[in-house]
Structure 1
Amino acid sequence: MTVAMSHPGFNSGALPPLPNSAAFGARLTRSGQGATPGDAKLHNRTLVLQTLYSVGAMSRADLARATGLTKVTVSGLVGELIADGLLRELGLQESQRPGKPAILVDLARDAFAVIALDLSDHRVFRGALLDLTGHVIDRASAPLDGAMGDVAVELAISLALDLASRTTVPLIGLGVGTPGVVDDAGTVRTAANLGWEQVDLQRQLGERTGLPTVVANDANLAALAESSFGDSSDDFIVITIGHGVGSGLIIGGRPVTGTRFASGEIGQVMVGTDLGLEAPYAREQVLEHWLSVPSLNAALAAESDKDDARERVLREAGYRLGIALAPVVGVLNLAEVVLAGPLELIEGTLAEATLEILRRRTMPDSHNDLIIRTSMQGDDLILRGAVAIVLHAQLGVV
């Protein structure tokens, strides 16, 4: 399969994609099967791309040393990747050594683009064209105006097609972050806010755009963005705070989705322990009741005439988040908790209250250096995660 666009306005490319690795966190190797020559070449090609993506421009000789491949193998792969348009020669390497200077090669980071959609906001679908570094080239948005079900699906498709028509470079693929439970085939099993049940969003978007498409849960993509483009550790959790509350986990540098693709559904964890041990599950006692943006804004408005109201509301939300996170941090021995949401709500009091509870409720010797911080990627967090998952699926990098 090649990335060849047949839709009017699309630019053609010729990028041989990886085997079916579109699932969030899918492994690049096929365990339990013997390696074929094609597997070995694909592995080496991916290794070259990943090394250049991570390190930057290198000579062929340095690339051979960094990857452990022979100079002949690297030279052949670099030639093929230059022909594909994925690499470019940058010029001579500065060197103090005698002899002919080497030529540097690097990824053609601005020669291709990815379409990314962020469907997490209950008011508007947002999309962007981004280059291989996660830099935004162009943006577009589509107000939801209450759209649900098939109408919301068509809105997402129209947004993707609009962005595709604007590109001046070949497209590698389409990445989508959506609320709800999403399986490894890109089917949205359930997304209540959009009225989606068993919606094969990945297939529909792929067929209508002609692009290799990957659809994943928005919070999982937020974690992938922090891992790929942020300064994160290999063991952390991202808490996304918006219309609802979700989370994404990276453990040992790899994303975790769970046996039923529902890992990270922390917003529905019951943290209202005030009712006692015998209390049944109740939606008004779940984390979202205290922590979602609508809940926080409503509580702040209701208490606005009281002294220290803002401090009290945000501290309570932070405490509840700490209660929910303490077992997770304790079991997984996480290094970081990353908060993503409106900075005016999550920075300061809320984050400090969360850390206070985490320190009280976990073993000090194991978690005394735990970091809690806010994401610095702003509104582009999920869009960048969508870029990362497309690059992983199509090129094997990030």
Structure 2
Amino acid sequence: MSQSPRRVRTSSAVLPTDGRRQNLSLVLQTLRRLGPTSRAQLAREVGVTKVTMSDLVAELIEGGRVLDVGPAEHGGAGRRATLVDLDRGRLLTLALDLSVPARLKAAVLDITGAVVVLEEREADVDATQGRGLDPAVVIELVRSTIARSPAPVLGIGIGTPGLVDRHGTVRAAPNLGWTDVPLRELVAEATGLPVLVCNDSDAATQAELSTSPGSEDMVLVHVGRGVGCGIVTGGRRVAGAHHAAGEIGHVTVGTDGGEQCPCGKRGCLETWLSVPRLRAALDAADPEEGRAVVEAGGERLGVALAPLVAALDLSEVVLAGPEELLAPVVPVLERTLSARLLEDPEHPLSVRLAGSPQDIVLRGAAALVLWDRLGVV
């Protein structure tokens, strides 16, 4: 998997001889931010000469990344400037979300993160009964979605539950019934395309970073069939020594036992807090019983997160998942963290829902492909 992207400032251009690829990336990022722009304005924004910018734009046009879109509508005396823009119809990525094993999602997204094609596939998966996800189902979904894409895709990004190493092998994903599945290799061989595989919570975290530029130090908790989190310090995601930072779903919270988990242990965090569990609480005939489930889940999550927040001095805790299920968890989590952390009135901890939870894993996986292929975040 590629290195976690930092936020790149559009004023941080370097000499072409030292960082031409970075300057090309800065041009793409600027066009993504501003839309159709003249070469002269791009030169000012990126901080290079007009001659250098003309050379950079020519290379991007030749590579199918950028195209001329015609003269500006308004201008001063003389000839109107010709505008260039991203070739949005050709800068497509394919993303997969495996966070809900029984309902897999794949999408083709454009460079803005908009979904162009969406496919879903039901799968008969129940790891507790020995029915794991067949990787062939994932490959078939990839092929089917690619066939519907209006143009070739730059690459494939996959967000999956479990531990994923730097080679894109899923070392352990109890909810999928997977151990040492070489997912990147399997999909790359089947498609001939560049493939990135990451934990689904890391993908969700990258998507949140893209839509919340002020979030420099946070932990994002992605709640689906299981629970995982992505950690951000200094605006950059933390990977960890074995690319497993944030895998908290199978941490035992408390010493009072708990339900059996697909991983074989009892009382793992995701046995207390998950979308199926919260959905059952919402639909419970007895409101008190439903509230007790929410209270228990929020408190156990707070127990797991408090040491992390304190050790890394994080400023935000973000919950990503179905809003109607997670909204009641927020005050419980906030209360639990407040009781377990040293209060800093000058810098209070923010506990909130994700800004754009819709398709958050798909958008994050696509964003990682854009960074890897184009240097665009």
The equivalent position to 2:62 in structure 1, one of 83, 92, 96, is 83
- Counterpart CA distance in 2 for 1:69 and 1:344 is 48
The equivalent position to 1:142 in structure 2, one of 121, 129, 137, is 121
The equivalent position to 1:245 in structure 2, one of 209, 216, 227, is 227
- Counterpart CA distance in 1 for 2:34 and 2:91 is 19
Offset at 1:178? Answer: 1.0
- Counterpart CA distance in 2 for 1:293 and 1:108 is 38
Question: 1:219 matched to which residue of 2?
Answer: 201
Q: Would you say 1:322 and 2:299 are equivalent positions?
A: no
**Secondary structure, aligned partner of 2:232:** strand
**Secondary structure, aligned partner of 1:365:** coil
- Counterpart CA distance in 2 for 1:54 and 1:320 is 40
Cα displacement string for residues 233-270 of structure 1 (whole angstroms, at most 9, x for unaligned residues): 12222111111111112222211111011111122223
Q: Would you say 1:205 and 2:224 are equivalent positions?
A: no
Cα displacement string for residues 340-364 of structure 1 (whole angstroms, at most 9, x for unaligned residues): 12222211x3101111222232232
Offset at 1:180? Answer: 1.0
- Counterpart CA distance in 2 for 1:24 and 1:383 is 18
- Counterpart CA distance in 2 for 1:209 and 1:377 is 30
Q: Would you say 1:373 and 2:352 are equivalent positions?
A: yes
Q: Would you say 1:383 and 2:365 are equivalent positions?
A: no
- Counterpart CA distance in 2 for 1:366 and 1:274 is 33
- Counterpart CA distance in 2 for 1:28 and 1:369 is 25
- Counterpart CA distance in 1 for 2:349 and 2:179 is 38
- Counterpart CA distance in 2 for 1:70 and 1:366 is 48
Offset at 1:79? Answer: 1.1
The equivalent position to 2:241 in structure 1, one of 241, 244, 259, is 259
The equivalent position to 1:284 in structure 2, one of 262, 266, 276, is 266
The structure-2 alpha-carbon separation of the partners of 1:186 and 1:84, relative to structure 1 and needing over 3 Å to count, comes to same
- Counterpart CA distance in 2 for 1:368 and 1:129 is 40
Cα displacement string for residues 72-110 of structure 1 (whole angstroms, at most 9, x for unaligned residues): 111101011112221122333455644433222221223
Q: Would you say 1:294 and 2:273 are equivalent positions?
A: no
- Counterpart CA distance in 1 for 2:234 and 2:308 is 15
The structure-2 alpha-carbon separation of the partners of 1:379 and 1:26, relative to structure 1 and needing over 3 Å to count, comes to closer
Question: 1:123 matched to which residue of 2?
Answer: 102
- Counterpart CA distance in 2 for 1:352 and 1:227 is 23
Identify which range, 203-212 or 107-116, moves more after superposition. 107-116
- Counterpart CA distance in 2 for 1:366 and 1:273 is 32
The structure-2 alpha-carbon separation of the partners of 1:230 and 1:156, relative to structure 1 and needing over 3 Å to count, comes to farther
The equivalent position to 1:166 in structure 2, one of 127, 148, 159, is 148
Cα displacement string for residues 46-79 of structure 1 (whole angstroms, at most 9, x for unaligned residues): 2222222234332212211221222111110101
**Secondary structure, aligned partner of 2:335:** helix
**Secondary structure, aligned partner of 1:184:** coil
Offset at 1:294? Answer: 3.2
Offset at 1:378? Answer: 3.8
The structure-2 alpha-carbon separation of the partners of 1:96 and 1:141, relative to structure 1 and needing over 3 Å to count, comes to closer
Equivalent residue letter for 1:107: L
The structure-2 alpha-carbon separation of the partners of 1:115 and 1:353, relative to structure 1 and needing over 3 Å to count, comes to same
- Counterpart CA distance in 2 for 1:65 and 1:153 is 48
Offset at 1:329? Answer: 1.7
Question: 1:16 matched to which residue of 2?
Answer: none
* Structure 2 unaligned blocks of 5 or more: 9-13, 258-263
What TM-score, normalized to structure 1?
0.82
The structure-2 alpha-carbon separation of the partners of 1:313 and 1:199, relative to structure 1 and needing over 3 Å to count, comes to closer
Question: 1:279 matched to which residue of 2?
Answer: none
**Secondary structure, aligned partner of 1:272:** coil
**Secondary structure, aligned partner of 2:119:** strand
The equivalent position to 2:23 in structure 1, one of 44, 60, 64, is 44
Equivalent residue letter for 2:342: M
Cα displacement string for residues 315-373 of structure 1 (whole angstroms, at most 9, x for unaligned residues): 232122122212222222223222112222211x3101111222232232267433222
Equivalent residue letter for 2:308: V
- Counterpart CA distance in 2 for 1:161 and 1:366 is 53
Equivalent pairs, count = 363
Question: 2:88 matched to which residue of 1?
Answer: 109
Offset at 1:179? Answer: 1.1
- Counterpart CA distance in 2 for 1:368 and 1:264 is 23
Cα displacement string for residues 174-231 of structure 1 (whole angstroms, at most 9, x for unaligned residues): 1111111111111111112223222221111111111111111111001011112456
Alpha carbons 1:333, 1:367 under 8 Å: kept: no
Alpha carbons 1:221, 1:386 under 8 Å: kept: yes
The structure-2 alpha-carbon separation of the partners of 1:388 and 1:274, relative to structure 1 and needing over 3 Å to count, comes to same
The equivalent position to 1:188 in structure 2, one of 165, 170, 176, is 170
**Secondary structure, aligned partner of 2:99:** coil
- Counterpart CA distance in 2 for 1:73 and 1:245 is 48
* Structure 1 unaligned blocks of 5 or more: 1-21, 30-34, 276-281
Alpha carbons 2:221, 2:318 under 8 Å: kept: yes
Alpha carbons 2:281, 2:294 under 8 Å: kept: no
**Secondary structure, aligned partner of 1:110:** coil
